[in-house]
Amino acid sequence: MNAALLVLLGVVFAAPAHAPPVMQWTPECLIQRGCPNPPAPLPECDKGLKVQTLREAFAAVPGRPVAVFGTLGFGATMTTLVMCDRERRCCNHVRRSLELIDGEYRLPLEGIGCAGDDSMVCCPHPEDAAVVAVGILRKHDGLFAKRSYWTLREATLCKFKGASP
């Protein structure tokens, strides 16, 4: 038998020498078409906007509008689990949430996220961008959460001019 050996996590597997090539993305895949809406530049924040750190915002009363400074980062990823095949690739929908990060604090941004398929995910804003998120701070005490957590509802983003708060 003409076989190549593959070592994976310390286990040796025999694979035929004529193994199929790595997955080729088909024309309907997002990686072949590109993102339909490239990231747009953020508007500048209003000059009189009172900006807080996430720590300060979490000490505030929930349900009130806040403007918080931080860096954009990826949060949870969710995907459908459709069984794609050779003819039907990229059939799963993938979503990634965006969060505002400030040191050890993270705040998920409701309504702002990334979307795509198995091949690629497109985001409306670049990760690691320093921004101000404006919205309504919401505290969740869900049945399944072991502890409460916060989100920013009706979130919008703007570019902060000046030093961080």
**What domains lie within the chain, and their CATH numbers?**
40-158 (2.40.50.140)
How far CA 82 is from CA of 78, 85, 89, in Å, comes to 13, 9, 10
Distance of CA 46 to the CA centre of its chain: 26
Question: Which residue, chain included where needed, has tokens 């920013």?
Answer: 152
Which pLDDT score, from 0 to 100, does residue 15 have? 33
Reduced to 3 DSSP states, what percent helix, strand and coil does the chain have, rounded to the nearest 5? 5, 45, 50
Tokens of 125: 């804003």
Token output for 116: 């795509």
Model pLDDT for residues 66-88, shown as the tens digit of each residue:
999 999 999 888 999 887 777 77
Please give the pLDDT value at position 83: 75
pLDDT at 163: 54
Residue 21: per-residue pLDDT: 47
User: What's residue 133's pLDDT?
Assistant: 96
Residue numbers of the chain with a pLDDT score lower than 50: 1-21
* Per-residue pLDDT at 4: 37
